[in-house]
């Protein structure tokens, strides 16, 4: 019987850790949004709201890609760098939580 109790505790700890990881991700998304929203508007001339799905999903790169009108043979990163420079690329990487 003691093994069942230990297994339940382990399961609860795993579930707790998973919850903490999810909350950490949500907080990172929220913080990066607050930090970069004004930079995004200054750089791209658009409000970030149209590309922000939620604090869980974060920045919608597909919507941004469509807005940017990236061609099939181009990468989003190359187009952003070409049109908006290093700062534009830095902002997008930050919003995607790419360090």
What digits encode the pLDDT tens for the residues 32-79? 999 999 999 999 999 999 999 887 788 999 999 999 999 989 999 999
Structure-token pair, residue 63: 């919507």
Alpha helices in 1-99 (DSSP H): 2-44, 61-68, 76-95
pTM: 0.78
Please answer whether residues 94 and 35 qualify as being in contact, where contact means their C-beta atoms are separated by less than 8 angstroms.
yes
Distances (CA, A) of 61 to 23, 37, 97: 22, 15, 12
Domain that holds residue 37: 2-95
**What's the number of domains the chain is made of?**
1
Tell me: the pLDDT tens digits for 1-17? 556 766 766 766 777 66
């Amino acid at each position: 019987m003691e093994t069942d109790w230990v297994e339940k505790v382990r399961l609860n700890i795993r579930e707790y850790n998973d919850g903490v990881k999810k909350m950490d991700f949500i907080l990172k998304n929220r913080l990066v949004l607050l930090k970069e929203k004004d930079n995004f508007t200054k750089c791209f001339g658009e409000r970030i709201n149209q590309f922000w799905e939620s604090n869980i999903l974060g920045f919608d790169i597909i919507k941004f890609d469509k807005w940017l009108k990236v061609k099939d043979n181009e990468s989003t990163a190359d187009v952003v760098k070409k049109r908006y420079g290093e700062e534009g690329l830095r902002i997008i990487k930050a919003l995607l939580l790419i360090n």
